[in-house]
A and B are shown apart, each in its own frame.
Chain A
Amino acid sequence: MANLPTKFSQFLFEQSTEKEREWLEEKVKSNVLDLMTAFVAAPRFLSKKNISYDSKFSGSLVPEHPGFEVDGWSFVRLARVWLLLHIPSGPKEQFLKNIETLFDTAELNELVALYSALPLLAYPLEWLPRATDAVRSNMGFVFDAIALRNPYAELYFPESAWNQLVLKTIFNGKPIHLILGIDRRRNKELSIAVSDFMDERSAAGRRVPIQVWRLMGGASDEVLHSKLIPLFSSESKLEKEAAALLAFESKDPKIRSLLANEPDLELSIQNGDLDWSKLESIPE
């Protein structure tokens, strides 16, 4: 299969026993129906372990998608994605039908594997309705599979769907920094929605997760300015740091000048000691 990354296979086989490798290799030599069945049957033939991650593969499993990480996946999920990449992509109509059938008959863990594979499958735009559906899903694991560490949304979601994904991640209390492209796809609409959300929370006497602030970078200078003043005087160290980062990123002199009162923070940003990743909460 042409678009199957070599390192992906290499990594999979490093995790497999000899018997598992034989089973996997035999299945991909088989006909499509057997291959699809193998996708379902994988837990009957493969170990249920979680894969141990080796840093040498970090960011390189799929070279064109450096954000595609499989850390913390189950071995079965990894194998299922690999099996999917062997379904012949032509003729197109047949390929679409095969993948749709797997979606229609999938149970939870199969759905997770299917969504994980979306950025690697042929005809990526065809999966857009499925992908936006997954964002609407109540199934936590399915949502995570499309929203976190998955390059698909950044690449193919239109702005409104992208913003929904980000907002829902915030609402679900999930780590937004695991959304690939979260900084690259900042936009004004999203900043407005996030700003409203923060107002709502503060009216209810609640704080927002600190990471949410990074999304405010796309807001208008005026809105940002009005938000940053109270944030700089917050008692929370994290909130002050977030304010400093936003001010530092801004091109507006009035906003930049807010940083003048916080020379220590400015210095640590300049030195690269403070960036958004330092404010990340540890994902569960």
Chain B
Amino acid sequence: MCQKEIHQTKNPSHFESADLREDSPTHRDILWEDYEHLIKDMRFFDPHIHMVSRTTDDYQMMAKAGIVAIIEPAFWVGQPRTGLASFKDYYSSLVGWERFRSSQFGIKHYCTMGLNSREANNERLAEEVMEILPLFAYKEGVVGIGEIGFDDQTALEEKYYRLQLELAKKTSLPVQIHTPHRDKKRGTERSMSIALEHGLDPSWVVVDHNNEETVKSVLDQGFWAAFTIYPFTKMGNERMVSVVEQYGSERIMINSSADWGISDPLAIPKTAALMKQRGIPLEVIRMVTYQNAIDAFAKSGQIDVADFETEFQPDPNAKFHGNSILRGGQQPVVNKNSLLIQ
């Protein structure tokens, strides 16, 4: 398969660059039948996934694969928002409808709130967003300020990054940093040094979208290092296994960052299966696919593991503001293997 061609024809998400150097071919697809037995009885926590862009099919497969809880960071919806009202509605959906939809599949939904770096460059709008952000940051189930950081590394991005670090301090919430894809190494260093400059405890900061080039410095400085398993770009899961082999499980976590791009909401279970295959100890797998994310974000005081560790049965009759996800007569669980759609 020609990786280069894929790069040129896929729309990149999460601010990917067309820079191929860091994106060696790595992602390997595995069929459910091939890895189902490997992850049996494992429990996963995806600390970075954009469910508003995903379908109910995804939720069903995620639940089946053992994903019990997720964090949805506030982010870029693919096109710039033109007014404050769109931000309000988007943020509201993260704590409202999407959380409800998730619960219908037995998956506990948290989110982080923030103004993304790209839209920080629209200063007029950014000012307005900053005014309402505290009203969302304090809402129940908000586990951090995120994802914030740099894209183009402009002065405006820096301004709003700093302001949001202050907000995180004020609200006692962890920070989830989106590191840029262009000039990543420098962007990551800059993000970290600004966070330290603002007096943030690195154990309260999750640096996201790491790669082999950035991981050492992130860990050495005491931050959490998150890795995004995203097909064709970012990390592949085979590379991820090597990172875990080299660095162990301390302060390392894996996420899917699945969104409206070509991404994989099952990235975590698949990577866990691969790690199992490669003989990585179960406890290490558990730390990087579950426990570390909980430890990092539970500092918000908003995560109660009893909500997803005790056997959870979604209530199919529950409604969100009087609306159900189920249209007349639908059942919450559909047999995906059936050819007939009844």
Contacts and interface: CB of A to CB of B under 8 A. Distances in A.
A140 B322 CA distance: 7
Given A37-B134, A37-B138, A105 B301 contact: no
Interface string A11-46: 000000000000000000000010011001101100
Given A107-B95, A138-B322, A102 B140 contact: no
Contacts of A104: 85, 88
Contact of A41 (B91, B96, B138, B319): B138
B310 interface: no
A173 to B, nearest CB: 14
Interface in B202-237: none
Contacts of B321: 108, 137-139, 142
11 contacts: A33-B134, A40-B135, A40-B139, A105-B92, A105-B136, A107-B92, A137-B322, A138-B319, A138-B323, A139-B322, A140-B322
Nearest to B87: A105
B197 interface: no
Interface of B: 85, 88, 91-92, 95-96, 131-132, 134-136, 138-140, 171, 301, 319, 321-323
* Interface size classification for chain A: 10 to 19
A156 B171 CA distance: 38
B94 to A, nearest CB: 10
A37 B135 contact: yes
B91 A105 contact: yes
A101 interface: yes
Quick one: which of A33, A37, A43, A102 has the most chain B CB within 10 A? A37
Nearest to A39: B135
Nearest to B170: A37
A41 B301 CA distance: 13
Contacts of A142: 321
Contact of B135 (A44, A101, A137): A101
A44 B138 contact: yes
Given A138-B321, A138-B322, A140-B322, A107 B88 contact: no
Given A40-B139, A137-B321, A139-B322, 6 more contacts: A40-B135, A40-B138, A44-B301, A107-B92, A107-B95, A108-B321
Interface string A103-115: 0110111000000
Interface in A99-137: 101-102, 104-105, 107-109, 137
A36 B138 contact: no
Quick one: which of A33, A37, A105, A142 has the most chain B CB within 10 A? A105
B141 to A, nearest CB: 9
Closest A-B pairs by Cβ, 4 of them: A138-B322, A41-B138, A139-B321, A40-B138
Contacts of A108: 96, 321
B149 to A, nearest CB: 24
A37 B138 CA distance: 8
Contacts of A138: 319, 321-323
Contacts of B138: 37, 40-41, 44
Contacts of B96: 107-108
Nearest to A140: B322
Interface string A192-224: 000000000000000000000000000000000
Interface string A139-175: 1101000000000000000000000000000000000
Nearest to B136: A105
A41 B319 CA distance: 25
B322 A36 contact: no
A102 B92 CA distance: 12
A37 B172 CA distance: 14
Nearest to B84: A104
Contacts of B131: 33
Contacts of A41: 138, 171
